[in-house]
Structures are given as C-alpha cells and as structure tokens.
A and B are shown apart, each in its own frame.
Chain A
C-alpha cells in the first residue's frame, strides 16, 4: 500500500460501514444529527483507493485479469492468501482526517504445508497524521504456497 495521502471522508466511511453490515451511528451519522463519524476498525484498508498503482483495481488502458469475453487468468501476486491482520489504534480515525500511509516489509518466514512450502511475509503500514504522529499501525501477514505453476490461488 503506497497511497501518498489518504483523505478520510464521511461518505467513504458510510459506504464502508454499509459494506460490513454495520450502520452504527458511530460510523453512519443520522442525517438530522450533525456529527463527525468515526471510521470502523478495519477502514484504513480502503486506503487502497488512494494508491495510484494498487494492483487489485482495474486501470484505464491496462490489462485487467478478471473475466470479460474470456475467463481471465490469475497474475503473479494476486493469489496470495491473507493469513493475519493486526491493527494498533493510537487514536480513533475520524472523517476529516488526512492520513499519510508509510509501508515497509516486515519479517518473512517459511513453513512446510500439505501442498508445498508456505512462504509468509509481513507488511507494516503506519498511518501518520500531517505532523507525523502515528494514528493507526497495521500489520498484514500474507502467505503464498510455493508449488508448480498453474495451480489454483486464493486470497
């Protein structure tokens, strides 16, 4: 995740809250009550929208690997499984915040699985405010199976 700037908008929080089936007034303000919604616990994942190079979003003029006339075909990296996800909240994220995500690779390790070698890798993303104070620290662990090419992949 490499969004340079992640503006947190009330409408985006509303859409996200609806998508996770949680329309608590903390996240979706009633229209007649002016309030600043908080972002749900996993909302910062949607910083992907602000990453100009996010690979899991179709881009104009570029090949997309999903189905169209044909069935599509998996591309490298699209099949990594999400093994773990961790968030540390230094303060709640609110509509109106502007966050500056900084990602770096964390640890990586391997484990022997049933269908081949499992390769785990961490990504640490720090969501900072304009002053450089941490707001949310996210740690993702992805896993890919090293096996002959052509097998099914998943998220």
Chain B
C-alpha cells in the first residue's frame, strides 16, 4: 500500500458528526533518509535520529524517528480532512518509538461537535499505529467548522 495522494478538502464548511472517521497511510517502510530530511528541515540534529554509530554506542539498535516527525506526519490526517486554516488545537502524547522500516497509519475520529460562540467546533481524536498495530502517537484536535 503506497502512501495516499493528497485529496483536496471539500469546499465550504465540512459537515461532520460524532463517529465520522478517516485514515491515511502516512509512510510505508520509513527510510533513514526521511529522518535526515526532517533533521535538516526542523533544525533538530540530535544524532539519535541520524547517526547509527552514535546510537549503537548509546545502547540503541540504531537511529529512530524524531517524535516531532511522527506528530508532523500525523497532522496530515487532520489537514487533509479539514484544511490547516480550521485547526484550532492539536496535541499528542508520544507512545512508542518509530523506527526505520515502519509503516504508519493515522486515524482521525470525530468525538463530538459542540456549538460555541465562535460556531461549531469538532473535537477529533487522532491515533497513529505502526505495522504491528502498536500506537505510536495519540492525541486530540479541535477543528472550527463554521466559516
């Protein structure tokens, strides 16, 4: 299964209700090169993410992904669905390390839709699992539904 191509979010205000859910394959067979790309773009050059020699000396089997790479990739399930401009809050806990070779799938589920003074806001849970079904990231987001 290849990572999915981007699909334009629906025009206008998205219509969602509690229980609606979407999944996106974020990456298949994560490559070390992507960790290097993330280090370069983010500015976090911790050798734990790019330097196998260092990692083995430090007691790790090898390099592993920045937590923020996992969170960054996971954000796609929200922005593909709702668009960046509707995102009000996005927070996660890092549950498990992500390793080269991992295939990650993110799922977003609408937990509730509340009417507020600023209009309708959806609270969405997010979870990203690896190829063994182990949760690596879990969190929530609030999304503005009104224009």
Residues of A within 8 A of B (CB): 12, 15-16, 18-27, 38-42, 45-49, 51, 54, 56-58, 65-67, 71-74, 78-79, 81-89, 92, 139, 151-155
Q: Judging by beta carbons under 8 Å apart, are A42 and B37 in contact?
A: no
Nearest chain A residue, comparing its CB with the CB of B137:
A85
Note all chain B residues with C-beta closer than 8 A to A48.
42-44
Question: Which residues of chain A come closer than 8 Å to B79, judged between CB atoms?
Answer: 22, 24, 26, 40-41
Interface: B73 (CB within 8 A):
yes
Q: A24-B79, A155-B67 given as contacts; is B92 within 8 A of A85 (CB)?
A: yes
Contacts of A46 on B, CB cut-off 8 Å? Answer: 41-43
Question: Interface digits, B34-50 against A, CB 8 Å rule (1 contact, 0 not)?
Answer: 10011011111111111
Instruction: Tell me the minimal C-beta distance from B80 to chain A in angstroms.
Output: 7
Could you tell me if A38 and B84 are in contact, using CB atoms closer than 8 angstroms?
yes
B39-84 residues with Cβ-Cβ distance < 8 A to A are 40-51, 53-54, 56-60, 64, 66-69, 71-73, 75-76, 78-80, 83-84
Residue on B nearest A27 in the bound complex, by CB? B84
Give the residues in chain B near A74, CB-CB below 8 Å.
58
Q: How far is the CA of A84 from the CA of B140 in the complex (A)?
A: 12
Contact status of A20 and B47, CB under 8 A, knowing A84-B91, A84-B94:
no
Q: What A residues does B89 contact at CB under 8 A?
A: 86-89
Q: Are B41 and A83 in contact (CB under 8 A)?
A: no
The answer to whether the Cβ of B122 comes within 8 Å of any Cβ in the partner chain is no
Check A89 against B88 for contact (C-beta < 8 Å): yes
Report yes or no: A57 in contact with B38, Cβ–Cβ below 8 A.
no
A30 to B32, CA, bound (A): 27
B3 within 8 A of A: yes
- Do residues B90 and A22 form an inter-chain contact, with CB atoms below 8 A? no
Given A65-B47, A67-B47, verify A21-B83 contact (CB < 8 Å): no
A137 to chain B, nearest CB (A): 9
B72 CB contacts on chain A under 8 angstroms: 16, 19-20, 22, 40-42, 45
**Closest B residue by C-beta to A143:** B94
Q: Do B42 and A19 have beta carbons less than 8 Å apart? A: yes
Least CB separation from B27: chain A residue: A21
B44 neighbours in A (Cβ, 8 Å): 45, 48, 56
Q: B26 in the interface, Cβ–Cβ < 8 Å?
A: yes
> In the assembled complex, which residues on chain A have CB atoms less than 8 Å from the CB atom of B68?
42, 45, 82, 85
Contacts of A82 in B (CB 8 A): 66-68, 94
